[in-house]
Structure 1
């Protein structure tokens, strides 16, 4: 079986030449470095794996902290409207967050977090003081009515997961659905996505693909799902926990044909 390492391309020499040709006042400030993105191995040419841990050393601060708003701009910006904000957060490197996401997190009345200890590192890194409230798969149904009540009272509620986009193999889908049914605004704040990042750098076909996500825990149901994927020609994307990667490769290699390994 071939194991593939995915890496984001570095800037080309053509880009450097173009920057050199520009007037000095127009040139962008050079980045000190560009971090490499890696993805776990793939058992077939049409099979792409995504792990949640792409980059290490995420707490380093090689760049100056981005400000949520430049001087003089805050007065020109309209206040955020009440509603549920689904905020994408970094998938490994704390610098992979948008300025809009930082503004929402700083302006919210409360932040719903999958793991408050994990999210606390992100908020501390950007000096965000907004209170955190745990919201994960074991308590999301108990929390829902309390959160809906706060939203109906006109609060700004931000929902984040440990990494990536809330609601995509993470808590948030049911809450967003309830808000839509209750006519409460749901505002997505785009950000990092593990599946898109891995797929874009995989070299596999991106014209059509299936996002499978996490496989069932029981071996029988897992085998049934892999059989379905083996019969499809398009790219398949799975989420696999690091400690189950070896098991996944063994099971997939017995089901997928030699041409796809």
Structure 2
């Protein structure tokens, strides 16, 4: 059983789970993929092969050893570019390499009146790397209900608000979904700025079928609810994607193996 992290390579034996130091990983959960599932024994009797693919992301921003080229910090002027219109901009940010960000995303972050961020200290590193001076405002699962009305007033006053998560595309198992819905209800423009996504990035390199897949996201915290969800997954034949926090990885593998049956392991 082999699990390969993008940088560096890590191994798991078939019977012993090697603990991973938490600080080695990026602040996004592991996307875990299952495909060709062997059904839960009490539900079906067939014995289809099962495969898991686990994808990991490094916590270290990976840039070249050479000095960062000026081109990465310089946005070419374009007189044909229209100024940004007021609204909520959902901006995808890197999931492990600070250079994995689009020119459009950088322009939005520089032009915004405020940037909503899960962790301002974490996002501050990205803004510092690209010399972006836009003020940050914390916006996470513990304060999003209180912040929503404050942000809504800013938007109604004609401000440009950018929303980012710690990594990847906001609103996908990250804060922002309710804010986007609130803006849509108030006829405030919501503009997605495409960028990195942990789900699509890992899926594309997993080697598993991509023509049909389902995104499960985070599993319930309660044992009974989580096992019920895994039993439902055991009946699926398409590739499935789970978000698993690093400290819950061993628990997930043990529970999944018990419900899904015999497992062979693939890694990317």
TM-score normalised per structure 1 = 0.80
- 1:194-243 deviation digits (Å, cap 9, x = unpaired): 01111111111101111001111111111011001111001110011111
- Answer whether contact 1:109 1:131 (CA < 8 A) is retained: yes
Flag the 1:181–1:259 CA change in 2: closer, same or farther, 3 A: same
- 1:142-177 deviation digits (Å, cap 9, x = unpaired): 011111111011110000000001100000000000
Equivalent positions of 1:192-211 (< 5 A) are 192-211=196-215
1:221 aligns with 2:220: no
- Distance across 1 between alignment mates of 2:145 and 2:59: 33
- Answer whether contact 1:113 1:134 (CA < 8 A) is retained: yes
SS at 1:75 equivalent: coil
Shift of 1:55: 2.8
SS at 2:79 equivalent: helix
CA RMSD of aligned residues (A): 2.2
- Answer whether contact 1:85 1:159 (CA < 8 A) is retained: yes
1:93 aligns with 2:94: no
- Distance across 2 between alignment mates of 1:189 and 1:146: 22
Matched with 1:15 is: none
Structure 2: segments with no counterpart, 5+ residues: 8-29, 36-49
Matched with 1:82 is: 86
Q: Say how many residue pairs are matched.
A: 226
Indicate the structure whose relative CO is greater, using CA pairs within 8 Å and at least 6 residues apart. Answer: 2
- Distance across 1 between alignment mates of 2:191 and 2:33: 34
Shift of 1:4: 4.1
Pairing partner for 1:253 from 254, 257, 262? 257
Flag the 1:46–1:131 CA change in 2: closer, same or farther, 3 A: same
- Answer whether contact 1:110 1:157 (CA < 8 A) is retained: yes
Pairing partner for 1:69 from 67, 75, 78? 75
Instruction: Tell me which protein shows more helix as a share of its residues.
Output: 1
Shift of 1:6: 6.9
Matched with 1:5 is: 4
Flag the 1:212–1:47 CA change in 2: closer, same or farther, 3 A: farther
Equivalent positions of 1:150-229 (< 5 A) are 150-229=154-233
Structure 1: segments with no counterpart, 5+ residues: 9-38
- Distance across 2 between alignment mates of 1:235 and 1:103: 36
